[in-house]
DNA sequence: GACGATATCTGACTAAAGTCAGACATATGC
DNA sequence: GCATATGTCTGACTTTAGTCAGATATCGTC
């Protein structure tokens, strides 16, 4: 009666009808769902027509017609791509922006309604995060970013906050050898953020130095995305970046309080080495030859 | 960037695309989605044509045509309702049952696949339960059942297991004044189970007695469904049943370890009274005049 | 500058979903 | 028994979604 499969299926049924309700609420603006979806994709700053087509899984003929109908309504304008005149770029007109905002308002109000009807807000949100990460796993993109970008700084903030929670003595960034952002930018190093559907859910830094090794720093995965192999993917990406930069030896330090991290390193070919710095927080040190 | 509304919306997006994938996988059997949905509804023992129409939100003309096409395929048979010949009852033929099982197999395999791809199985399942309960809240039906039914016994089993976990001294049903099932069946009393999409997720018993009061017993809500007001709905239903049975005074006993329950009683018009039995487990006693 | 590849568009379809008015049989209340 | 309500069915639609073959323009490359 309560086997895992029927629990998953109960969830599927609940969610199917919820999605149906969400879809029909979009019909209120007098536009078929297909056109509304395209308008929303453009509003969410997807401009390239081909990209939208892929994202929504549409046939090119259908896509073209939907674009035309939005254009006829005066909601979008299309122009040729600057570098490649075959490709088309779609943008919202002021009227289109108003219409897009109306759809946004519907979505936001529904989300707010849903939350306001339940007392277990935080638990619900955490559950939703977890499931969204699990479902969107293949949609999680690892992208190299500047460590001073908003997304990167959000990740780092969460990372520091988590260290502060998990270390008995707390954590103060200033006491740690905070890597200079420039050391985590090409050509010296790299900083990789995992983005899931617009939200940053993980990061890792590759800190180049003038010594004979580079360091892996700031590996973090959002609690909602743990257990899905994202840490490993981030580490792989960082090691790849290191290869590209011609780095032969990687080191990292960590703390035994972060048990998952230690496990990950051991399982992916890192070997423990003696302390190689005097940072007060780490008590475990690893090295890997690429 | 991480406000609650955008977290809900991220979840919605993830789930929308997952549902789309699920839907298209049903197309493989050479039948349009509408017909497949009707077949599945019938297979899940929804026989009444009107009920199916409501459940799937279909127009009566469309519904009729879908039924006809399934009938032409030899998958279902329709007969008139025994009590009301205007209504029609649909049932699967042997061929229909085979076809239905094929759809079930698709759904089951997908659910199994999903689970097998993730390491955090239990956390995922718990999150899914919570969300399914939250979404399906309006779909939760409270139905009076025999306390010896499978559903009721499942609830009671979970209830006892939870007491055993939460009481320091453990819990042994035999030491408690276990109400005779007959006391929780009309006309003496009642037993109400909350069913969400086929799964029992809560219960409450109304135990009639020969004394001047009846008792509320066995109030339980599945962990995945807590915080959604189900406890209150169950209590309301039990009090309604008591009214119908002409009961004027209700009592109940509980334990201060079950803090949520105590809060609920206080907030819904119950007043604390002195101990009225010698059961070893409860230490809090309430009464309410209807 | 010719050639194949690529991106989009157009026209001519089909299939599926949904709508609406009215027909028909059956139930219910007076 | 009659009027009215209810549940289903039928026919005649419309709209939406999706498919496919080719037209057109542009790009990159030799």
The predicted-structure confidence for B255-270, as pLDDT tens digits, reads as follows 888 888 888 899 888 9
| Long-range pairs, A64-68, Cβ under 8 A, ≥24 | A66/A34, A66/A35, A66/A38, A67/A38
Angle CA(B222)–CA(B228)–CA(B231) in degrees, nearest 5? Answer: 60
CB-closest option in B15, B111, B124 to A9: B111
B157: Cβ–Cβ under 8 A, 6 or more apart, which residues? none
**A33 near B CB under 8 A:** no
pLDDT digits (tens, 9 = 90+) for A148-184: 888 889 999 889 888 888 877 777 776 666 667 788 8
Question: Residue B51 phi/psi, 5° resolution?
Answer: -65, -45
Which of A50, A34, A279 lies closest to A163, judged by CA? Answer: A279
**B141 near A CB under 8 A:** no
| Reported confidence tier of residue B178, pLDDT bands at 50, 70, 90 | low
Residue A162 pLDDT: 87
C-alpha distance from B279 to closest chain A C-alpha (Å): 32
Question: If you compute the radius of gyration of chain B from its CA atoms, what whole number of angstroms results?
Answer: 23
DSSP collapsed to 3 states, A219-286: EEECHHHCCCCHHHHHHHHHHHHHHHCCCCEEEEEECCCCHHHHHHHHHCCCEECCCCCCCCCCCEEE
Residue A259 pLDDT: 82
8 Å CB contact of B128 and A124? no
CA distance B247 to B241: 9
C-alpha distance from B105 to closest chain A C-alpha (Å): 11
Q: Where are the alpha helices (DSSP H) in chain A?
A: 4-26, 33-43, 49-56, 60-72, 94-116, 121-135, 150-166, 230-244, 259-267
Cis peptide before B187 (omega within 30 of 0): yes
- Is residue A200's pLDDT more than 90? no
Residue A61 pLDDT: 93
Task: Determine the angle formed by the axes of helices B121-135 and B94-116, rounding to 10 degrees.
Answer: 120
Residue B97 pLDDT: 95
Residue nearest to nucleotide C7 (CA to C1'): A86
| Reported confidence tier of residue A137, pLDDT bands at 50, 70, 90 | low
pLDDT digits (tens, 9 = 90+) for B30-79: 899 999 999 999 998 888 999 999 989 999 999 999 999 999 999 999 99
Chain D positions within 7 A of any protein Cβ atom are 6-12, 15-22, 25-28
Which of B203, B147, B153, B204 lies closest to B180, judged by CA? Answer: B147
Q: Looking at residues A268-272, what average pLDDT do you find?
A: 89
Question: Residue A140 phi/psi, 5° resolution?
Answer: -80, 120
How many angstroms is C1' of C4 away from CA of A60? Answer: 21
CA distance A35 to A76: 11
Residue A179 pLDDT: 66
**A44 near B CB under 8 A:** no
CB distance B41 to B59 below 8 Å = no
CB distance A227 to B120 below 8 Å = yes
Chain A 85-114 residues in 7 Å CB range of strand D: 85-86
CA distance A13 to B46: 15
Q: Looking at residues A37-44, what average pLDDT do you find?
A: 93
Residue B35 pLDDT: 95
Question: If you compute the radius of gyration of chain A from its CA atoms, what whole number of angstroms results?
Answer: 23
What is chain B's mean pLDDT, rounded? Answer: 87
CA distance B192 to A219: 51
What end-to-end distance do the CA atoms of chain B give, in Å?
50
Biggest alpha carbon–alpha carbon distance for chain B: 68
pLDDT exceeding 70 applies to what percent of chain B?
Answer: 96
Q: Looking at residues B126-132, what average pLDDT do you find?
A: 87
Task: Please report where in the chains the tokens 């019909």 appear, as a residue.
Answer: A27
8 Å CB contact of B124 and A107? no
pLDDT digits (tens, 9 = 90+) for B219-242: 999 887 887 778 888 998 898 888
**Residue from B7, B25, B41, B154 to probe the interface with A (highest A Cβ count within 10 Å):** B7
Contacts of B9 in chain A (CB under 8 A): 107-108, 111
How many angstroms is C1' of C22 away from CA of B59? Answer: 15
CB distance A179 to A205 below 8 Å = yes
CA distance B278 to B274: 11
CA distance B70 to B34: 11
Task: Please report where in the chains the tokens 């779609």 appear, as a residue.
Answer: A90
- Is residue A1's pLDDT more than 60? no
Chain C positions within 7 A of any protein Cβ atom are 6-12, 15-22, 25-28
Chain centroid offset of residue A145 CA: 12
Residue A70 pLDDT: 95
What end-to-end distance do the CA atoms of chain A give, in Å?
50
Helix (H, G, I), strand (E, B) or coil at A10: helix
Helix (H, G, I), strand (E, B) or coil at B276: coil
Which domains are seen in chain B, by residue range? 4-117 (1.10.10.10), 138-289 (3.40.630.30)
| Reported confidence tier of residue A7, pLDDT bands at 50, 70, 90 | confident
């Amino acid at each position: 009666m309560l086997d895992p499969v029927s629990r998953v299926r109960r969830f599927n049924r609940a969610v199917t009808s919820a999605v149906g309700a969400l879809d029909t609420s979009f019909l209120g603006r007098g536009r078929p769902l297909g056109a509304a979806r395209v308008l929303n994709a453009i509003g969410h700053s997807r401009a390239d027509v081909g990209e939208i087509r892929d994202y929504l899984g549409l046939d090119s003929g259908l896509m073209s017609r939907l674009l035309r109908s939005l254009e006829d309504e005066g909601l979008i304008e299309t122009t040729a791509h600057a570098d490649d005149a075959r490709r088309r770029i779609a943008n919202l007109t002021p009227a289109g922006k108003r219409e897009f905002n109306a759809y946004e308002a519907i979505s936001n109000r529904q989300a707010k309604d849903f939350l306001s009807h339940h007392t277990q807000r935080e638990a619900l949100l955490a559950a939703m995060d977890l499931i969204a990460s699990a479902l969107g796993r293949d949609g999680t993109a690892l992208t190299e970013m500047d460590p001073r970008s908003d997304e990167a700084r959000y990740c780092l903030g969460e990372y520091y906050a988590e260290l502060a929670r998990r270390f008995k003595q707390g954590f103060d960034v200033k006491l740690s050898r905070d890597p200079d952002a420039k050391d985590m930018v090409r050509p010296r190093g790299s900083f990789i953020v995992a983005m899931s559907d617009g939200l940053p859910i993980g990061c890792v830094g590759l800190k180049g130095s003038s010594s004979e090794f580079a360091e892996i720093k700031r590996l973090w995965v959002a609690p909602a995305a743990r257990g899905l192999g994202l840490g490993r993917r981030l580490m792989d990406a960082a090691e790849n970046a290191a290869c590209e930069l011609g780095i032969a030896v990687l080191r990292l330090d960590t703390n035994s309080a972060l048990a998952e991290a230690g496990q990950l390193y051991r399982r992916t070919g890192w070997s423990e080495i003696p302390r190689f710095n005097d940072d007060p927080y780490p008590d475990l040190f690893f090295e890997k030859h690429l």
